[in-house]
Structure 1
Amino acid sequence: MNCTKSGSLLAALLLMVSTGLQAADVTITVNGRVVAKPCTVSVINANVDLGNLYTYNLASAGDKTVWHDVSLELTNCPVGTSKVTATFTGISDSTGYYVNQGSAGNIYLELQDRNASALGNGTTKTIQVNDSTQAATFPLQVRAITVNGGATQGSIQAVINVTYTWA
């Protein structure tokens, strides 16, 4: 009888210990992304000098200046980076043009690619990376325009930000 009590007690103790040793499920979640390595941005700040413009050339609604070329260049694009997308942002209004932040009145800035596609605030342009040179170039043009006419004297300044993404 003594042996039976000891065996029952031992079985009860083992049962209590084994319930504390039960395994719990664990989930490991691994996340990540495979992305294209960026190119080197060769042109960090592109400055375009429109020169001296004359109020009599910008007196009527829709008058505009000649185009001024500017190129944004990216080099050392690694193998596997096939295209670059540029997103253009800046201060604009209901005209769709970039607002002059200088002191000249009734003047806006118009940005296009050289195929005459408008690149207003929030627009994107995607180009292919040249496989042999591992480079990409955005050939652009900018000019001043008066929507309503009556441009007044003063300075012209606008900042257009460009953000690149790679694929």
Structure 2
Amino acid sequence: VGTSRVTASFSGAADSTGYYKNQGTAQNIQLELQDDSGNTLNTGATKTVQVDDSSQSAHFPLQVRALTVNGGATQGTIQAVISITYTYS
């Protein structure tokens, strides 16, 4: 008995493409958050993982990439804030 799984809920500012909005100076750039299987985790998405009984830990391997959906990317900085809320059950 105890915590057997953890759910992560992702949120952040999205642009019209549905990806996370670049808040840096580069134009026409979006950010895509993915899990280790390549599934996109846009704002509002959730991911649940099981807690490892022996280590009593849960792992959320994530990666992010910058992309341009409509082309025309310009040079500049890339920045976004992605918030994660964890729910234990």
TM-score (norm 1): 0.52
Which residue in 2 is equivalent to 1:119? Answer: 41
Is it true that 1:165 corresponds to 2:87 in the alignment?
yes
Which residue in 1 is equivalent to 2:29? Answer: 107
Name the structure with the higher helix share: 1
- SS of 1:110's partner is strand
- Long gaps (5+) in structure 2: none
For 2:28 and 2:16, locate their aligned partners in 1 and report how far apart those are by CA, in whole Å: 14
Over the matched positions of the two proteins, sequence identity in percent amounts to: 69
- State the one-letter code of the partner of 1:164: Y
Which residue in 2 is equivalent to 1:49? Answer: none
For 1:144 and 1:106, locate their aligned partners in 2 and report how far apart those are by CA, in whole Å: 10
Which protein shows a greater Rg? 1
Which residue in 2 is equivalent to 1:85? Answer: 7
- C-alpha RMSD of the superposition: 0.9
For 2:76 and 2:14, locate their aligned partners in 1 and report how far apart those are by CA, in whole Å: 19
For 1:103 and 1:82, locate their aligned partners in 2 and report how far apart those are by CA, in whole Å: 42
- SS of 2:60's partner is strand
For 1:82 and 1:144, locate their aligned partners in 2 and report how far apart those are by CA, in whole Å: 34
- For residues 18-76 of structure 1, give each alpha carbon's deviation from its aligned partner in whole angstroms, at most 9, with x where no partner exists: xxxxxxxxxxxxxxxxxxxxxxxxxxxxxxxxxxxxxxxxxxxxxxxxxxxxxxxxxxx
- State the one-letter code of the partner of 1:115: S
Name the structure with the higher strand share: 2
- State the one-letter code of the partner of 1:119: L
For 1:116 and 1:101, locate their aligned partners in 2 and report how far apart those are by CA, in whole Å: 23
Q: Please list, as runs of the form range in 1=range in 2, the aligned pairs for 1:29-44 lying within 5 A after superposition.
A: none
Query: What is the number of residues matched between the two proteins?
Result: 89
Q: Which has the higher contact order (CA 8 A, sep 6+)?
A: 2
Cα distance, 1:128 vs structure 2: 0.3
Is it true that 1:134 corresponds to 2:59 in the alignment?
no
For 2:14 and 2:21, locate their aligned partners in 1 and report how far apart those are by CA, in whole Å: 5
Write out the 4+ residue segments of structure 1 that deviate beyond 3 Å after TM superposition: none
Q: Please list, as runs of the form range in 1=range in 2, the aligned pairs for 1:29-68 lying within 5 A after superposition.
A: none
Which residue in 2 is equivalent to 1:52? Answer: none
For 1:107 and 1:150, locate their aligned partners in 2 and report how far apart those are by CA, in whole Å: 9
For 2:26 and 2:47, locate their aligned partners in 1 and report how far apart those are by CA, in whole Å: 30
